[in-house]
Structures are given as structure tokens and as C-alpha cells.
Copies of this chain bind each other. A is one copy, B any other.
Amino acid sequence: MEMFFDPKSIVVIGASNAPFNLGATICTMLKDYLQYTGDVYALNLKGEAVNGYPGYSSILDIPKTPDLAVIIVAARNVPGIIKDCAVKGIKRIIIETAGFSEGGEDGKAMQQEIDNIARVNGIRIMGPNCLGTLSTRKKFCCFYGVNPSLVEMSQIFEVPGNISYIIQSGGVAVLVMESLYYDVVGVNKVVSIGNKCDVDEADLIDYFQKDETEVIGIYLENVANGRKLMDAAKKSRKPILIYKVGKTPEGAMAAMSHTAGMANNDSIFDSACKQAGIIRLQSIDELHSLPKIFTEMPLLKGKRIAMFTNSGAFGSIAADLLVEAGLQMVHLSSQTQEKLKKAGKAFNIKNPVDIGPAPPQTYLDIFEILLAADEVDGLLPLLSVWQPFVIDTLLELMKICKRYDKPAAIYTANAIAKSIAIRAKHRIPIFETSEQAVRALSVSHAYYESLLKRNFISAPASSAASGLENNIGAWAEAAS
């Protein structure tokens, strides 16, 4: 699989100097944006060089056997090209061309022919109808049509991260990468698998177990081999987040015209995900917004959440959201409330803790008191950045979370544009809405529970029990 992401040589089949040629955009990106150090060959009818890369009119003429062939020519020419690739001994092929299974009976027949040649010759194929692969660390990308005006696309290579994506749609892949440019987590690898005639999401989940990947994000329009996917997911030691379209017949129908999948029964898929420990996403934006709760914060090991706000309403709003998400508003113990009272400036020392105008030290004291409390499993700070110092306290909060091994899902109660700007500048894992922050806590805990269920970790029996006692005690006290 590595050769799909880190080839030492590549032939772009269909790259030419014709206007609007898509293969040429791949050559331009490799040379001008990525300074790719491998060998690149262009294949076209005239055998002409493209952007300084040598050109050939037949694969057989290329002086050596490329590690990878990327095909972007009319669909009808693809089977013949695959035959040539087989003769040349090429073992990895990405077919970016569309018009196969998703394009009617002729397309299906061609697909069958390709599958046969590949199987006989031990060739692994990615696509068709895809964008192929991208690796930030290897500075490799064979996406076609990437536009120089999409500044964000080229900049994600500058700060490689640890999220890898498997995305059955080029458009969604571009959206996710563009969005991460404004976030604190970076991309490791992205793969657009299209109609996935051979390499599929399960193969890639296996592959991402062995590299720098920390979180796997997946966008699916259909599942061809459900058992294979679930088996791969069950073995995964890295969180898998999946958004799948086709919850309604209309959505499934639209997906079918796009990437040729069969409509899958959504509720069956849903329960299979739960069994396999897959986190099912509720919106496409969660693909880029949620991974940071895993990479930047400890896992949420219980359901008891303390909230802390400097603007009372947000506590009320988030209390609704927390409970609807299946988490618990922790009842703070009398000891904790006593400490909060001493910290001063609090309107409310019960959960949600609510303060008025207060200096930075009060924020830090409250973070510390809440995260140190036995009855608290995680923190939901809902803090308006009404003064720049609030940003400094949030930077400190990230350290306090690590110290207590408990997460905080940070929401800054400000205009989204402003929250995003603060996040990008200060590298703080800020969520854009209180809904998103609550959801992050919820998926963090769901993943923790799936690790327990799969026996990948064991519960600290004593602490879980005592946590429960504490909470019962606090309830009793609150009720008295």
C-alpha cells in the first residue's frame, strides 16, 4: 500500500500540453508546489514532454518501470492502458477517470475487464472515479485539478499532522483539507477511493494502523463489503469516524449516480458501527472538527461533566445539549463547591459554574478545582473571549488537562469567524459551537468505551467505582 503514497517514480497517463488538460495539473503540482523528488513520466498521443517531465506515446517505451501509474484519459481507453501497464510490470494503478460502474452498462463491462487483468497480473487498483492519494510527509499528491488559488490546499503540506482520511468523493476531500487549514490538527494522508473496484476502506484502515495516523476519518457513499470493513474496524487501535450518506432513499439514490454504490440499509449499518467501535458522524463538518478532541486532549473516561462559563446563558444552553447527548451534569461535591467559593467571583458555584468579570487567576483556579475533583470526568468551558487574557488561560488549561488526564472541550462564546481566528493563531482546540463541543465529549467517551469493550484497555476498577460513589453522594447531598 505504501507505494500508492510514496512512489519513487510515477507515470501520468493522459498528461499533455492541450488546454485544460487535467493530467498536466498533476505534473504542475508535483513539480511546482511539492518539489517531488521522484521520477515523473508523461504519457500522451504525441509523446510530448509536460512541464519539463519527459513524454512518451507508449508505456512500453518508458526507460524504467514506474512504481505507480496514474490514469486520467477517456474511460474507453482505460482497459487497453491497463493491459500495457501489466506488460510493463506496473503493480500499482490509480484510475482517476470517471464513467465506469456509475455510468451504465458499458461502463460496468469495462470495469469487469479491468478487474480481470488486474487480478491475473497481481496489480492493485485504486478508483476508478477518484482523485487518488496524498501524503503530506512524503510531499506527494496525484489529485488532478488542484487549483493554485486554493491556497489552503498547498499549505497543508507545510505542517504535516496525524489525521488520515479515506474519502469516497474528491469534493469532500478538498473541503476537509481546506477546513483543516483553519484548525489545529493537520493531515497525514488523504485517499479518494471513488468506486473502489479493488482497494477499499478496509484495506486502508489496516494500512493506517502502521503509520503516523492517530485518527481515521472516512466519508462513504456506499459499503461494498460490510464484513471486511467491520473486521478491519474491530482491530483498529485508532479512532475511526465515518460519515455515510444514504440515510434516506433520496440520498442513497443521489449517491448511486455519483459513485455507483448500492443503497445500504442504514439502520443495519448503524448497529454494525456500534459493534465495531466505529463513531458515526452526524454531519460532514464533523470529519474535520472532531478529530482534535482525540489528538489534543486525553480521552473522556466517564460521563460526568462540569461546565464553566463567564456568561450564564451558555451554561443553560449546554446543559440541555449535554443531557440530550447522554452525558451527565455532575453534581459538584460540597468540598468542590467550598473551593469554588474561596476562588471568588462566582455567581454560581454549582454546575454550571458561572462567573462575572474576573481576573485571569480566577479562571485558572476554577479550571484546576474542577479538573482535580474526583467527581468530574471532563470539562466543558463555555467562555466568551471578552478580554485577550482569556486566550492565555485556555493555553494553560490545555496543560492542566494533560496533568489530570481529563479532557476539556473548549467553546469560545464568540462569533464563529472570531473563534476560528483565535484557534488558528493560538493553536487552541476550540470548537465552533456548543453543540460541537458537547459532541466532541460524547465521541471521546464512546471511543473510550469501545476500547474497554474490545479489551484493548481495562477499566481502573477502583476509580470507576469510587467515581460512582462520589456522584451518588453528591446527588444525595444536592437533593437534601
Contact = CB atoms under 8 A, between A and B. Distances in A.
Interface of A: 20, 98, 145, 147, 149-150, 152, 168-172, 174-175, 178-179, 181-182, 219, 221, 245-251, 253-255, 257-259, 283-285, 309-317, 319-320, 322-324, 329, 347-348, 350, 352, 354, 357, 384, 386-388, 413-418, 420-421, 424, 432-435
Contacts of A384: 171, 174-175
B285 A319 contact: no
Contacts of A219: 313
Contact of A415 (B152, B311, B386): B152
A388 B255 CA distance: 27
Contacts of A168: 313
B313 A171 contact: yes
B175 A254 contact: no
Contacts of A433: 283-285
Contact of A178 (B178, B315, B324, B418): B418
A15 B168 CA distance: 61
B175 A283 contact: no
Identical copies of this chain, number: 2
Given A172-B313, A248-B320, A285-B433, 15 more contacts: A145-B357, A171-B384, A172-B314, A175-B384, A175-B413, A247-B320, A250-B319, A250-B329, A251-B317, A254-B315, A254-B316, A254-B319, A258-B312, A416-B416, A416-B432
Nearest to A314: B171
A172 B172 CA distance: 33
8 contacts: A169-B311, A170-B311, A175-B415, A182-B417, A245-B317, A254-B316, A254-B329, A417-B417
Contact of A20 (B257, B258, B324, B357): B357
Closest 7 CB pairs of A and B: A171-B311, A251-B320, A169-B313, A258-B312, A255-B316, A248-B323, A254-B316
Nearest to A350: B257
Contacts of A182: 415-418
A221 B416 contact: no
Contact of A284 (B323, B354, B386, B434): B434
Q: Which of A259, A319, A354 has the most CB of B within 10 A?
A: A319
A40 to B, nearest CB: 23
A417 B423 CA distance: 11
Nearest to A176: B415
A143 B411 CA distance: 24
A206 to B, nearest CB: 24
A248 B319 contact: yes
A143 to B, nearest CB: 12
